[in-house]
Structure 1
Amino acid sequence: MADNTTSMYRGSTSDRPHIQRRNGLSYRIMALTACCVAISTFAIGTISFLKIRTESDRLAQVNLQTEAQILSQRFYLDYYIIANDLVTISQTPPIQGLIRSIQNGDIDPTDGSTTDQWRSRLATIFRAVLRGRSDYFQFRYISAADDGRELVRVEIGADGYETTPKEELQRKSDEPYYQQAMLAPKGQVTFSKVTYNRERGSEDGNQTPTLRGMYPIDASDGSRFGFLIINVNYEKMLQNAFQEIAPKRHIFVINDLGDFMEHGIGSHQKTYRLELHDKLTRPIPPILNNVMVSGKDGFFANSETVGYYVRQDSVFDQASANLGVFVAVPREEYFATANQNLVQFILLGLLLIGLSTVIATVFARRMMLPLSALTNRVRFSGPDDRLDDLPTLRSDEIGELAEAIQSRNLKLIEGRQRSAAIVNNVVDGLILINDAGKIIEFNPSCERIFGYNAEEIIGSNVSKLMKPEIARSHDNYLQRFREGNGGKVIDKLRELEAVDRWGRVFPIELAINVVQVDGKTKYSGIIRDISERKEVERLRGEFVSTVSHELRTPLTSIRGSLSLIDTMAPKDLAPKVRQLITMAQKNTERLIVLVNDILDFEKLQTEKTHYGFKNLNFNKEVQNAIELNQGYASDAEIELKSELVSKDLIVELDADKLQQILSNLISNAVKFTKVQGKVIVRTSHSGQRVRLEVEDEGNGIPESFKAYIFEPFSQAESGVARRQSGTGLGLNITKRIVEGMHGEIGFNTVIGTGTVFWVEFPLKNMIISQTSDNGTLSTARAKVRALHLEDDTDFHIVLGTGMDGDLELVHARTILEARQLLERYTFDLIIIDRMLKDGEGLDLIKYVPNPDKTKIVVVTARDENIHHIYVDDILVKSRNRPGDFVNRFAVIVDEIKERKRCA
């Protein structure tokens, strides 16, 4: 089958140009494209449809706009009728007759008519007007005198049109519309807001939505006498207009106050109850709300409705008299014509697509046969099959593709073989797990380390290789990492204990990395069994400790014996003998220094070094160190100079450890300085830190050695350095002691000129500002006492300075220091930084005596959620300025003080 397929692809060299022209893949694609040209008809149809839809949309908008304008004019007609009635009535004789009779003792001097006669005549006119308008329900003449007393009032009652007796006429000066009418310009009709009708200062209970048309009446002298007012049932007025128009569309009538009425069609009721803007009984339709918010004429649409809004220009200034009409239609109806055209175009397009598909299929099947054969050959090949029988001799694109596949396959096979050789033969164990913790790869070195075969361990949870206490939290760790809250051990080398198939617990070194395989997160681990190394380290420690301690006693005896011999020897002792004694003393001292360095190094390695802190005058201690090392410098022909600041610098340090630091730095500087050179020891202070600098005139530190300068057993290869031998531990010990006393150490060097080693310590009042002279905490408990676990001294200084006077802030740089302080003292507040050199800061909580009664605040640089039962507050350094921290802790301190006061 393979041979037949291969022969089908191959041809003679002379035939290839012909095949290239007639049977090339690009030629066949062009033929297929030509067959699909018919689809362009669909594109043309689409363009036509869009044009037709645009025109239909324009015509529909014009129709809606025209209808809205016509309706708007009809609704405005009611306002003109009200205004016309008011103006007409204001010109009738009873209006001025009442004014004359009231002003002349109830008798009109012009014709002798009484006030009551004029009232009766005006009431008759009012009744005639009310009969002509079904939406009018009250007509009144109100005077300005007597708190706006009604002069004439006619209304529709239970028995028809009723004139209110004189003794029942009301005062209306407290009504809002009264002031509006009294302030209206002469000869101008005004309209009130639409409210429920009010009688005697409160709503009448009928909840009649009332629009009041008002016309001011002035006396002959031009003073404001009163006004005419017609009460119109606003809802009925709009309903009457709807009944007269009988619209066949969905219509909203809206005034500028937001009062609206809706007229439905179809299955909806014909009209709805009027909705007042301040007393809505149902939600405003979304599209109407858009219209109200806009307030402008124009086209509006949403997912369900399309419409046009028109607001008729009004001669009236009041919002209640400015009506707008919104004509709405369902979106389906609005686009009905366009949608019908769309269906026709779709059917035509589908027909063309079907026809083109049939034609394309015929050509594609013939064109893809050789490509399908190539695909099947590759698909059914094994992972190590070299695919030598692919049609690489074809002259078209298939031949080029086959050649590319064959070349890439060979590279993949070679890459797999190299990778397999590396993975299977690497000394370290390689393991791969998925995001659920299941093992999916397990190399031979892992089999050797753990004792499991790959076949039996793959598919198991990786916690099977862990101690129970670690395994219990492993799945939770993976969950936190998936949520973005974990991962601090990723890309880091760490030591922990593992368990093999026989239950043996042994130490390993583990490096974890995150890898993406097929778009999924996996975790790769590189594992090294360090049992032998740990054993060697243990034996080395025991050997160094044993040898060092066994050497110290005889060396001390030898030094004492040599001193006695030197003292008791006669003055005329032979020079050679005296020289031998001196040589023995010097070498004994060198051995003692060596043993002490080794012991100090071991103590620092195992963190067994203890510090006796007390207040020291830094300048005085530096001066003592210079004096102690002056003899050594003189013997080396080196000038030892000091440049100390004049003021006292008080620090809290271990005096012996400080002298050891100074001695190491000064002796190193002397050792590396050229003969006849000088070493300068200077002190300074900046802000709240004191600084010591020891400057030599040596050759400087080579660039290649700078990274190792503080490593144990390291020495630079230098002729000057080799004049004096050493252990290579001095600077390592110095650095550890400096950091153990909350300080920092570093250096600046210039090749050929020299090196300056510097050490900085915080001043006394900044490290633990509340300690007494003997290094213990103050006993007065007026302040709130807090333990601050933080390895950033500068941050502690800022917080301590800001809270001075309120907070007794005790600083611990490591978890070990914090635990020691918790054993000695009681604290009201614990402030914890998470990422410390000796572990996770949250681990300190289990050592707090009463965590439920102690305020615990986590201050961290990592922006992540912390779920811990005893953590009361979390502050992220990157999201808070220093001043914000001080303010937050001020609130916390006040809470603690209040709690203690109430206890």
Structure 2
Amino acid sequence: MSRQAPTGTQTTSTVRRQSMRQRIILLVGLSVLLTAVVTGSLAYVRIQGVVHDQGETILAGDTRLVAVRFERAFASIAKDLRTIAGTPPIRGIQRAMANGGRDPLDGSELDDWRHRLETIFTAIMRSDPSYFQIRYIGVQDAGRELVRVDRVENWLRPQTVSALQQKGGEDYFLRAMEARVGDVVFSELTFNREYGVRDPRLIPTLRAMLPIESPNGQRFGFLVINIDYQRMLDANFRVVAPLHQTIVTTSTGDYVIHTPEGSSAGTSGLEMGEAYSRPVPPIVRLVANGQQPDGFFEFSDVVAYMVHLRERPGLRTPPLGIVLQVPKAVFDEPSNLTRRDLLVAGFLTTLFCVVMATLAARQMLDPFRVLTDSFAASSQEDLQRQLPVDRPDELGDLARALHDRTQRLMESEVQAEVILNNMLEGVILFDGEGVISKINSSAEMILGLRPSQVVGQTVDMLFDEEARRQNASLLVDQSGQSTVGRARELDFLNGSGDRIPVEVSVAVLHLPGRIRYSCVFRDISRRRQVDRMKAEFVSTVSHELRTPLTSIRGSLDLVSGLLPKEFPAQLAQMLELARKNTERLILLVNDILDFERLQANRTIFRPVVCKVEELLSRALDLQTGMAQGRNIDLRLAAELDPDLAIEVDPDRFQQILANFLSNAIKFSPEGGVVEITVTQAGKRLRIGVRDQGVGIPESFRPFVFMPFTQADGTSSRQVSGTGLGLAITKKLAEGMGGEVGFESVEGEGSEFWVAFDRYHVVPQATLVPTDAEEALLGLHVEDDRDFASVMRALLRDTLVLHTATSLAEARRMIAETAFDIYIIDIGLPDGSALSLLDEIPADDPRPVIVVTALDQPIEDARVDVRIVKSRFSDKELIRHLREQIARYRAAKPPAPPRSNVRGPMA
């Protein structure tokens, strides 16, 4: 395929190519071929030069790998022992035995704890077929077994109490008694014994033992796992699969041989030092005669490498030696007799290749060096003129490709510069250190600064001294959160020293080996001015419309009430018409102002726990007049629990129900029914308003809660309204932590609902009623509502407890209420509750109790008590509370008692 050359040059298809690549490949190929023939011929007959050292290293590595596998096997046994030691039955048996056969902690009988421990033993033995017996042996009664499970054939059998034996005279019993606390020790390899005689199954047994201490620090007993040594070795050999013959031997001369291949492949039976059935390998006798260090051994027909198992802290492994041995004939098969000749030949061949490659490279690669120098010393325009695009070889191809690439790069830079300088937004490019490298023309115009005044400076120059003291930054906000990728408003400093309000967005530019940032900003002075005008307008509307409208409505009501009976009916009708239209206008003004406040997040909510029955009764009373005007039957379609409650701002909640009810009444036919429904949806209470109106068209349902929208938006619509009521309702519900929704069937009616968390009213509680002390108020920070309900039930006679399910809610409650005691959890959806301690003064005497599921210490001096959920009892919790409250009362002046307290329902 031919390539188009630049103007004035010949195309490569018309010129005879002299490929540099072909010349280099040919020369290097001849050199490498000559080197391969010379060195390969010599290496074939003289390869043993380094085989011995390499073979020893490889054999040592393979031996250590096998040893590591066995060390892990013993570590796994120790782990099983420690797992059993950490289970409740271990301590439960101790407590039951110390208290006449009954555990005083939970009332469990000794036999109950034994059965639980037998279950744990059974589960452990199922996981490892080499375990054929697990026991819990006590020190008392001559080493009486407390619990024991045996493997008999293919099933596991716990032993009855009458079948438990005394093991105080066994060697391993004395070894376990001498072991340090926490150490796992192993016995010597012996045949298993039962009732003082050797087990007829002749199981070679290795015993792993872990001492168990009593709470007073005395040796109570120990756990013992009896391991079928032969089966354990077979299992580990299957896993590690060594490539060479492997011997596992003990200091007493017991050994097993594993052969990986051949007619004798597999693992031999265990050869005990008491009576060998086959010739003993020499390495085994060396280990049995004395402690041999790890290392390499040579014998007449084999070479071997031995590694002893290492003891770890807390794990005293049995004295085993792992040996890998290879026939000497195999080990010495390669040869290295002529290493010197090989080195000489390789050196001469390499020298020849280097000389030839140097001469060729000098001739062929000098043009590339010249091209490289041109790149370093020339501008893009000069480089294009100097490129050797007329050469007929690879260098010419490269020059032509560089020419085209440089041309495209120049065009791209011009396009980028044009786009950048024609943007209406200002753009600033800076690096990770904040040093500005470029600004566009819009940034110059907005800031009133020339590039020479900005480039090379840091972005700190954009902020005045006050902003710098507040740690103003383009990359992080005042809370330390990254601002990359999100817009925010800041004040920049222009060339005249004045502040300019701007909207800023920062993006990351990932360049090769470095990171750059782009800051895009626009002047929002006009927007700020519009916002101020809007706020002033809203303030004016609020004052100049609400006040006279309220006066007009009051005057109309007064006039209507004073009308004489003989007053003309037509004038009375006109007064009623004026009153209704005044109400409509007031509703319109209220909707607009409420919506504006909600949009600007300036609405203040004051939630309290209110009875649902009282809220709904009040809502029905407020809308009764409107319902009677249209002959609508307004009723509550549910029987309510008197103690059922929700946490809302009562006035805002009434506003929500008023919107729902007024819409239902307006859209219901004359003589229809409007019902208030109350249903439970999980942990929330759903309160709905159901009508028998025309329903909501399918096409309009996505827009129901959008502002200024109505299903009938024509000027001749039958039902008037602003289209803001449902939008305001949604904002109000979400502002109080609730949610809204609706269900509708066109032609049959609709049901709009709002849902909040369910609560129950809790009766008043005091700490010590008989002493007539004031009720102390507690804050419980906990996101699990079920657990919070349990806590309130436990403490109902001790403490008045409020619950916060998030950090944000807790901070709000701390800011609004002076609590006397804090009970907090650590893990919450929005962070750790320990961060709340930063908002409590260091010298504050109020107690802080952490009740958490995390069983870990808390290094914080401000925490008075830490209680783990899974381990505490109500008596312990109340005891801690009384101690902390007594301390707090001593440092706190008396205060008047508080009123009823309500709490969330589980």
Letter in 2 for 1:10: T
| Secondary structure, counterpart of 1:527 in structure 2 | strand
Deviation for aligned residue 1:661:
0.9
C-alpha distance after superposition, 1:6-59 (max 9, x if no partner) = 89x823x7xx6452xx315xx432232112112133345565576557555667
1:343 pairs with 2:375: no
Instruction: Give the CA deviation at 1:452.
Output: 3.5
- Aligned partner (choices 314, 325, 338) of residue 297 of structure 1: 325
Counterpart contact for 2:46–2:336, Cα < 8 Å: no
Does residue 33 of structure 2 align to residue 40 of structure 1?
yes
Deviations 1:410-430 (A, max 9, x none): 543443333323332333332
Measured after TM superposition, the shift of residue 651 of structure 1 is 2.5
Structure 1 residues 548 and 385, CA, compared in 2 at 3 Å: closer, same or farther?
Answer: farther
Q: Residue 842 of structure 2 contacts residue 862 of structure 2 at CA under 8 Å; is this kept in 1?
A: no
Counterpart in the other structure of 1:260: 292
Q: Give, in whole Å, the separation in 1 of the partners of 2:481 and 2:337.
A: 61
- Residue 10, structure 1, aligned to residue 17, structure 2: no
Partner in structure 2 of residue 763 of structure 1: 758
Written as runs of structure 1 = structure 2, the 5 A alignment for 1:329-478 is: 340=340, 343-358=343-358, 360-361=360-361, 364-365=364-365, 369=367, 382=379, 387=384, 404-466=401-463, 468=465, 471=468
Change (3 A) 1:821 1:10: closer
Asked if the contact 1:640–1:678 (Cα under 8 Å) also holds between the matched residues in 2, the reply is: yes
For the 8 Å contact 2:695–2:749, the answer to whether it is kept is yes
Aligned to 2:215: none
Say whether the 8 Å CA contact 1:642–1:680 is kept in structure 2.
Answer: yes
Query: Please, which runs of 5 or more residues in structure 2 have no aligned partner?
Result: 58-174, 176-189, 191-250, 254-282, 297-307, 767-771, 853-857, 889-906
| Deviation of the 1:710 alpha carbon | 5.2
Q: Is the 8 A contact 1:700 1:753 kept in 2?
A: no
The residue aligned with 2:788 is: 800
| Shift of residue 352, structure 1, vs aligned partner | 3.9
CA distance in 2, matches of 1:57, 1:787: 74
CA distance in 2, matches of 1:753, 1:836: 42
Using the TM superposition, give the Cα deviation of residue 728 of structure 1 relative to its aligned residue in structure 2, in angstroms: 4.3
Describe the SS at the equivalent of 1:513: strand
Q: Does 1:824 align with 2:817?
A: yes
TM-score with structure 1 setting the length:
0.55
Q: List alignment gaps of at least 5 residues for structure 1.
A: 65-175, 181-210, 214-250, 265-276, 284-288, 300-307, 311-326, 774-778, 861-866, 876-882
* Structure 1 position 535, deviation (Å): 3.1
Deviation of 1:360 (Å): 3.4
Q: Deviation string for 1:180-228 (max 9, x for gaps)?
A: 9xxxxxxxxxxxxxxxxxxxxxxxxxxxxxx999xxxxxxxxxxxxxxx
Tell me if structure 2 keeps the 8 A contact 1:830–1:854.
no
Give 1:529's aligned residue. 523
Partner SS for 2:502: strand
Letter in 2 for 1:650: A
Structure 1 position 28 matched with structure 2 position 16: no
The aligned counterpart of 2:554 is: 560
> Which residue pairs with 2:160 in the alignment?
none
Provide the C-alpha distance between the structure 2 equivalents of 1:580 and 1:384, rounded to a whole number of angstroms. Answer: 88
**8 Å Cα contact 1:436/1:475 also seen in 2:** no
1:801-848 Cα deviation digits (max 9, x unpaired)? 4644368344276859735634531354385999999x9999976653
Contact 2:489 2:504 in 1 (8 A): yes
Give the whole-Å Cα distance in 1 for the aligned partners of 2:525 and 2:872: 49
Q: Using the alignment, how far apart are the partners of 1:868 and 1:474 within structure 2?
A: 30
Aligned residues: 633
CA spacing shift, 1:833–1:473, aligned 2, 3 Å: farther
Structure 1 residues 448 and 279: CA distance shift in structure 2, 3 A: closer
Q: Indicate how the Cα distance of structure 1 residues 859 and 458 shifts in structure 2: closer, same or farther if over 3 A, else same.
A: farther
Q: What is the CA–CA distance in structure 1 between the aligned matches of 2:651 and 2:873, rounded to whole Å?
A: 37
User: Deviations 1:100-155 (Å, cap 9, x if unpaired)?
Assistant: xxxxxxxxxxxxxxxxxxxxxxxxxxxxxxxxxxxxxxxxxxxxxxxxxxxxxxxx
- Tell me the amino acid that sits aligned with residue 435 of structure 1: G
* 1:351-401: CA deviation from partner (whole Å, max 9, x where unpaired): 242144135325624xx74x7777677766645789589777888766665
- Give the aligned residue type for 2:733: V
Question: Which residue type is aligned with residue 255 of structure 1?
Answer: V
Task: State whether structure 2 residue 728 is matched by structure 1 residue 733.
Answer: yes
Deviations 1:77-106 (A, max 9, x none): xxxxxxxxxxxxxxxxxxxxxxxxxxxxxx
Q: Relative to 1, partners in 2 of residues 1:338 and 1:467: Cα closer, same or farther, differing over 3 Å? A: farther
Deviation string 1:403-454 (CA, Å, 9 cap, x unpaired) is: 6545544543443333323332333332233222333333333334444433
1:248 is aligned to none
Match of 1:692 in 2: 687
Residues 423 and 833 (structure 1), Cα distance of their counterparts in 2 relative to 1, 3 Å cut:
farther
Q: What are the within-5 Å matches in structure 2 for residues 510-659 of structure 1? A: 510-569=504-563, 577-601=571-595, 604=598, 605=600, 607=602, 609=604, 611=606, 613-616=608-611, 618-619=612-613, 621-622=615-616, 624-626=618-620, 628-629=622-623, 632=626, 643-644=637-638, 646-648=640-642, 649-659=644-654
* Counterpart secondary structure, 2:545: helix
DSSP 3-state at the match of 1:508: strand
**Which residue of 2 is the match for residue 745 of structure 1?**
740
Question: Over residues 550-594 of structure 1, what are the superposed CA-to-partner deviations in whole Å (9 max), with x where a residue is unaligned?
Answer: 222221222233334444556676666455333322210011112
1:584 maps to amino acid: A
Q: What amino acid is the match of 2:9?
A: R
Q: Deviations over 1:712-759 (max 9, x none)?
A: 556677459954444444334323432443323345678998765432
Distance 1:895 1:817, change over 3 A: closer
CA distance in 2, matches of 1:360, 1:557: 105
Distance 1:760 1:374 in 2: 75
Q: 1:607 to 1:892 in 2, by over 3 A?
A: farther
- Cα distance change on mapping 1:691 and 1:478 into 2, 3 Å: same
Measure how far apart 1:344 and its partner are: 3.1
SS of corresponding position for 1:586: helix
Contact 2:694 2:747 (8 Å CA) reproduced: yes
Q: Summarize deviations over 1:839-863 as a string: whole Å, max 9, x none.
A: 9999976653447766889999xxx
**2:847–2:885 Cα contact (<8 Å) kept:** no
Alpha-carbon contact 2:605-2:736 (below 8 Å) kept: no
CA distance in structure 1 between the aligned counterparts of 2:477 and 2:515, rounded to whole angstroms: 14
Flag the 1:582–1:28 CA change in 2: closer, same or farther, 3 A: same
Q: Counterpart of 1:433 in 2: which secondary structure?
A: strand
Distance in 2 between residues matched to 1:462 and 1:539, nearest whole Å: 32
Q: Percent identity?
A: 30
- 1:138 maps to what in 2? none
